[in-house]
Amino acid sequence: MAYLGDKAVGDIVKIKEDGTAVNYIIVHKGKPSEMYDDSCDGVWVLREKTHSQRAWHGTSSSTSSNDYENSSIESWLNGDFLNTIDEKIREAIKTVIIPYRKGSGTSMTVQSRVNGLSCKAFLLSGYEVGFTRSNNQYLPIDGAKLSYFSDINSRIGKNSTDTAVDWWLRSPNTRDDASGFFSLTNGSLGGSNTFYSSVAARPAFILPTSLSVDDDGNVSANNPPTITADKTGDIGTLDSGFSCNYSVDDADESDSVSVTLDLDGTQISTFTATKNQQETYTLGGDDWLKVTNGEHTFTISASDGKDTATSTIIFTRNLTELTVTLAQPFPADDVISACALNVEGSIPADAVCKYEVTNNALDTEPVWEDCTKKSQAGFSYVFTNKTAENGFAFNFRVTISRGESGSGGYITSISGGFE
């Protein structure tokens, strides 16, 4: 998947007309010159094959005119023709202001920039396809050459049967008030009365660079996925984990949305979303213990295969002391007299460690006994407490704090037993 702005002049892209993909040539990118309003800054596309033969304006010499703004072909371009374009692309086509000769007659005065003609679809002008007054003295300077039109062959237009045909330009022939110009089958400049109906129309329009183009060249005006989350941005320094509630949506009902969660660029999970369903991600427990101190980035990405939306949480972990204990003690049928406790992991030499055990964990105030030295030496620990009001039960409490070096570490397992 690429964007329209990434394509080159001369590339072919496909745009649907009445549901059928039609080839369009990228003929220019950006504004051709300062004659043009900023609205013309986009990707200019021209139908590769001519559309249909039709009059520029009028049905006879008495009704013909070279007033492009009020011509029948301009009305058709921005009416019946435009309505055949896929709805989303039609909405995305830019409303532009193009240079043109206003009114009818022999005047060669051109309206440009903010005074130009506002439209969506249009015919290219003589100057835009590379003609100049050296080709005909009655040609108005109603534009600047587009990048695609480098030679005479680039002006040759063909119909659906691949036959070269004449195709209309928007430039009036100012020798009178009823003639227009067109590109001939050999790419040279021709002209005739505007009611002449055997010349073809070849629509052009300008698209935003941000539209998507798939591997087959199909252009789509995609609605990207959206993410709604109750936490975004920098949520500060944490000494414990966090939970984030979020949901994803896509205005295009047919689009399937894939969600990916990652922490510091490493994928945590990926799944196909149920649109507008609340999901919760919790960074806690063992996963939180594995996170090193410092700044981290958690990202939710939602992709419909064409565009990707992201929501990011930035947080700083600053955990200098860790305590691990059992959520539920282990009960025993008789007196617990001794235990063994083994703590494994990467623990800095200057870390302050305290390992505690209790054999009356069910009591209101358990007796915690320090077994640090015994455990670190690999020996069993013998309890001094011999009573338990609520029955004997075992639990441990391991507390590790950073030393003066500030070096961090981690626990991989705590194991042992009791008797």
pLDDT per residue over 378-387, tens digit each? 999 999 999 9
Residue 288 has pLDDT above 90, yes or no: no
pLDDT band (50, 70, 90) for residue 327:
very high
- pLDDT reported for residue 1: 64
* 3-state DSSP assignment of residue 100: strand
Residues facing 330 on adjacent strands: 394
CA 171 vs CA 32, 317, 354: distances in Å: 17, 67, 89
DSSP letters along 157-224, please?
EE-TTS-EE-EEEEEEETTSSSEEEEE-TTS-EEEEETT--SSEE--EEEE-TT-EE-TT-BEE----
Average pLDDT for 336-363: 95
pLDDT per residue over 10-65, tens digit each? 999 999 999 999 999 999 999 999 999 999 999 999 999 999 999 999 999 999 99
- pLDDT reported for residue 286: 80
Average pLDDT for 192-217: 95
Indicate the range of 4-18, 41-55, 140-154, 289-303 predicted with least confidence.
289-303
- pLDDT reported for residue 252: 86
- pLDDT reported for residue 306: 80
* 3-state DSSP assignment of residue 149: coil
Residues facing 17 on adjacent strands: 20, 85
Q: Are 55 and 196 in contact (CB under 8 A)?
A: yes
| H/E stretch holding 277 | none
- pLDDT reported for residue 410: 80
pLDDT per residue over 403-414, tens digit each? 888 777 788 899
Average pLDDT for 327-354: 94
Q: Token digits for 290?
A: 């594995």
Higher-confidence position of 307 and 397: 397
Average pLDDT for 312-322: 90
Query: For 328, left (φ over 0), alpha (ψ -120 to 50), or beta?
Result: beta
Q: DSSP letter at 92?
A: H
Average pLDDT over the chain, rounded to an integer = 95
Domain boundaries, the chain: 2-219, 226-317, 321-418
- pLDDT reported for residue 224: 86
- Cα–Cα distance, 82 to 15 (Å, whole number): 12
Q: Token digits for 110?
A: 């051109």
- What global pTM score does this model have? 0.66
The domain at 226-317 falls in which architecture? Answer: Sandwich (2.60)
